[in-house]
Structures are given as structure tokens and as C-alpha cells.
Chain A
Amino acid sequence: MSQYTPFEMIAYTGSRVLEDNKIVFVGTGLPIIASMHAQLTHAPGLGLIFEAGPLAPMLEMGMPLSVGDTRACRKACYLKGLSSVFELTQRGHADFAFIGGAQIDMYGNINSTYEGGNYIEALTRFPGSGGAGAMAANCEKTIAIMALEPRRFVNQCNFITSIGYGDGSSDYREKAGVMGSGPYRVITNEALFGFDPETHRMMLLEVIPGKTAEYIQNKVSFDLMISPDLKEMAEPTDKDLKLLREKCDPDGFFLARKVK
């Protein structure tokens, strides 16, 4: 088995979670790489939405560097603007939201607004919701993608930018006025999480070979539920790594980064 970087594992697992003949609404970076890999392998019929306007472009010029750029738009089936594609999600056209974030809590609520200080004077202001808040609200299922670091898997987000299951109550999302069914998977370099259908709490589904559930729990601030059917994560093959490195992110914008 070849050596792979943490972000290559994330991208490969992201690809694995996606399904053929569905539509995925993708954010910048790793979600794009994962979706490209899925299209090149098990999901040739996967349609992509980028929020600046395109539906089902052909990514034959390489990885888009911005979700509105030429590469993201080229040879799309439908190409308008932000209003059009987000309205498609409200109407149920997007099966998956594929987003990142800085913090996530046990109910899959995600922060991408700020960390430290307060909302008005933040120690570390992030760019903000962008499309993520709307994608998490109205795509049918939300897939979150981030590195498994204790500072990210928190008891309480400083700010909830993208709605998950809120406080876990069964009617939280309905009271929020959103349409999607909510968090589905959280993809990290060392673990794949899902959510318990009853309590809406994050549940460990798969762990990287060689590590234990306890090891994963120690990297997460809240109590994890552990699947009774806990599995090992599949690892990328040489062919997968070649695709990721040569086709999906040849300049190493995302895959070459290090986990802190």
C-alpha cells in the first residue's frame, strides 16, 4: 500500500461517500477534489453544482480554483447565477451539500464565521458563510469535510454558521424553516462519522487502519457514539493516488497541506 497524506485520505473518503447519478453542491477545495475523483471512478453520472452558477460542468481543464471560474463553468448543462442554483436546492435538486468549516459540534452544527473573542470583535474572523449556510439548510444531506483536530471537534461552536441538528431535538430543523434533512457524514483523515437517527448525535462509523475508537475519541471534545458495526476505513490504491495527484490537484493546493 502506498503512502498517502491526510488530505489525500480525506479526498478519497469524500469520493467514496458520494453516489453515482446524484447531484452534489460543492464548496471550494477538498469537496471539488473528492467530487472529481468520484466522477473519474465510481460515479461518472454525478452532477456538480458550483454556487456562482453552473450545473453539471465538465472539469476537463483541471481543478477550479474558484467556484465561479472558467474551469467551474466550462461545458456546463445549465449556467446562470447564484440565485438559480440555490433555488434549485430549495426545490430539492441537490442530493448532497459538500462543505468545510472551522468547528463542528456533536449535532453537526458548523462554524465558519469566527473563533475567539466575539462576533463583533473576533480574534480570528473567517470569511463567513458563503454558500455553506444555505447548502447545509437545503441540500438534502450534508457532508462535512475537515481534518480531525481537537480544536475543530468542539462542545459548542463559537458561532453556528451552517445548521446541523441544532440542539438535537427532532423538530429543530423544521422550526428553523429549512428543507434539507441535515447532517449525513463527517469526513476526516482518520475517521468517518455519521449521525444516530434517534439522538442526532455524531457516531463513529469507520476508523483508519491501525487506530482505535479510543484514539479517535481523544481527538474529539464531545462524547462520540460508536457504531456497533465499526469498520476500518478503506485506503486509496495507487490508482486512486495517481488520479488525485495528477488529475484532481496537480498543483497540490489542498492535498499537500499538513494537519496541525
Chain B
Amino acid sequence: MKQTETSSAIRNVSATEPEVLKKVAGAETPFKWWGPTPEEARKIMVNKPKSLHDKRTTIKEAVAKRVKDGMSLGIGGFVNTRPPVAIIHEIIRHGAKDLTLCFQSNSICPELLAGAMLLYPDHVSIKRVELAWWGYEVIGIAPLLRYLNSKGMILMDDYTNYGMSARFKAAAMGIEFIPTRDHGGSDMELTNRGIMVKSPFSGKNTYLVPACYPDLGILHVSAADMYGNCRIFGAHCTCPEIAMASTYTIVTAEQIISNENIRTYPNLTEIPYSAVDAVIEQRFGCHPGNSYGFHWFDMEHILMFRSASDEFRKTGKSDKLKKYYEEYIFGCETYDDFLSKLPYKTLKKLRDMDGGQPVILS
């Protein structure tokens, strides 16, 4: 069980059984980094070439180069906002086992990986998830999360959205942990990998969460130059922190813009080139998610995938779910092949529904 000298009075009200507390993520002793140690992450950064060089590539090449079994994967975006779906498709085609997923809130990205794990367990699998939230918001719960969790097939390590954001932020800052004002007094204090300590200054209880250093960060942004300087319109979510926390970072962008334009508005750069290893221009790279200034959600597509997932959860029948993967992922060589399967009218409607928000690209 998680050992701590200081705690809130959560044990007076918690219903979590002692037997369960022996098996939670926070019970792992001694503490182990699930990705690189802060020292390893720094060393890799120190040894990277720092020149402004052309980092444009294909999603296929970037994934083949960086995705390995057993790695931790930091997923950018937030629920249905800029989820890096194009990169997830390629990771599923490539295959990756025993993944640790790290995100604050996401929808289709972990669900796609979960579906791949259920259908093709020798090709894709998730070992554990560090998260705050996994669902579809207005559309409903995530059926495949519910299925996997009900069978105890993945280890869940729960934080709040701030907790996960602060954990990425701590890694972006190059530190080991960060104090937060939440988690204490909730069951997460008993289950997750944070720890309650006495502040060395005031003596008051303060909850520390460990930094989250993913092996690989994957993001979809509004715009980037060929060197990896990224601009994000709409909510930043936790994308800048994830990019800077990760050992390696792959970015898809709605549009590649000139370095001259980046230098005209340097304050608009949210992720510096030194934090990015691969850049790919990929319009609709977060479909069926929403990309501020570019396109709205594809609600019908989400509903189609979700209903196939829900049928699998409820009946165990995998025909529809398999058909989705065969048609939209394994039946495509590239993400452009996937987009080619969507009617032009759909893409046009999604673009119109975003309402033409002003973005600075030139």
C-alpha cells in the first residue's frame, strides 16, 4: 500500500478496499519512472542537433522511426479538440505493444488504440494509462475504456485535468515533481502516484505529483514552420507542455507556414523548434475532432465509430468494429487515403461549421 507519513483524512470516508489499494499505481514501490528519468530525458535533449533544419517528413516515416513497444505516449489535444488522430492511425498500422498512454482528457485517440488492442492484441496493446478523463463529452461515455476496465485489462492511474497538465508542465520545466492544490482529500490521493507532504515552509499539507516525461509526444497544431516552431489557435489544451515534456515530439499541422512569418510574430510561437523532432502538414489531421479556425467536429463519424464500439462492449460482436479498422485504418496507406473516403461535402460542411475564425498564417 502507498506509504505516506502525511495524509488528509480521506481514509475516514474512502470506500476503496485495502486489497485494492495494494494493486493501484500508487502502491508501486519504490517509485519508478514509466518513461525516461529526468536525467535521461535531459541527456537526449542535450545531444540533439539544435540547428534550424528542415524537419518535414511523412507520418509513416516519423512513426516508424520513433514508435517502439513498451514506450510511453503523451497524447495532445483535449477530448474532441485537436486529438492527433492521423498519427494514431499510423501507430495502429505500425503496431505498438505494452504502451503507457499519458493525457489529460481524450476521446477518439485512446478509443482507437483500445479497439486495436481488442481486435489485434498481438499488434497493439495498452499496458496502463495515466489520465484525468476518457470519454466523448456530449456524445457519451467511452465504450472501450469501460470494457477494458471492467475486465481489469489496463492499469488506470487517475489524476485531475490540472494534475495531468501540471505533471507535463513539471517535465517541461525539467523538474521531478510539482505541488498542486488538488487530489488531496479525494480517493486519488490513495490510488495515484502523487504523495501528500508537509510544506517545508508553512508545515501545511501539500500534494505533490510526479512529473510526466513521455518517450514520445504526439500533437496536432494549427500551424508550424519546417523547423517545428508551432502556432496554436483556439485552446492550447496542454500541447505546449506535452511537446516540451516529451523526449521526442511528432507534430502534424493544418498548415506549414514560413519561418519568416514565425519571426514576424514571435510571441505567437507556443512550441519552440528545439522541442519538435518531426513536422508533417496534414489538413484535417485531427478529424473527427475540432480544429479552431479550420474545421468543426465530424459528429456523424464519431457516432459511427462509437456505435460499433458500443456494440462490441454490449454483445461481444466485433464485425462492425473490425470493418471500421479494415476500411479506415488498415485499408489506407496514408491518412490522405482515409480522408479520401470522406465525402467532399462532409469536409466542406465541417469547414463551414467552424465559422471561419480568424487565424494568423501569413
Contacts and interface: CB of A to CB of B under 8 A. Distances in A.
Interface of A: 28-29, 50-54, 61, 65-70, 72-74, 79-84, 86-87, 90, 105, 107, 109, 113-114, 117-134, 137-138, 156-163, 166-167, 169, 172-179, 253-254
B10 interface: yes
A159 B16 CA distance: 7
B112 interface: no
Interface stretch (B92-100, B155-163, B332-340): B155-163
Contacts of A134: 160-163, 180-182
B236 interface: yes
B181 A137 contact: yes
Contacts of A82: 78, 104, 161-162, 165, 237-238
Given A65-B137, A119-B20, A129-B133, 9 more contacts: A53-B237, A65-B299, A79-B234, A81-B236, A121-B149, A125-B150, A129-B159, A166-B185, A176-B186
B142 A175 contact: no
B53 interface: no
Given A130-B133, A131-B132, A167 B20 contact: no
Interface residues of B, number: 79
Contact of B165 (A83, A119, A161): A83
9 contacts: A53-B236, A82-B238, A83-B166, A83-B241, A131-B132, A134-B181, A163-B182, A166-B8, A172-B8
Nearest to A87: B162
B191 interface: yes
Interface string B173-200: 0000000111111111101000010000
Interface in B9-28: 9-10, 12-17, 20, 23-24
- Residue with the highest number of chain A CB atoms closer than 10 Å, among B156, B159, B181, B186: B186
Contacts of B77: 68
Given A65-B138, A178-B185, A127 B133 contact: yes
Interface of B: 8-10, 12-17, 20, 23-24, 77-82, 104-105, 131-135, 137-138, 141-142, 145-146, 149-152, 155-156, 158-163, 165-166, 169, 180-189, 191, 196, 204-207, 234-241, 290, 292-293, 296-297, 299, 354-355, 357
Instruction: List 5 A-B pairs, minimum CB-CB distance, nearest first.
Output: A176-B185, A127-B135, A81-B236, A68-B81, A53-B235
A81 B357 contact: no
A67 to B, nearest CB: 7
Contacts of B10: 160, 166, 176
Contacts of B187: 113, 119, 159-161
A186 B169 CA distance: 33
A204 B74 CA distance: 45
Nearest to A52: B235
A86 to B, nearest CB: 4
Contacts of A176: 8-10, 184-186, 189, 205
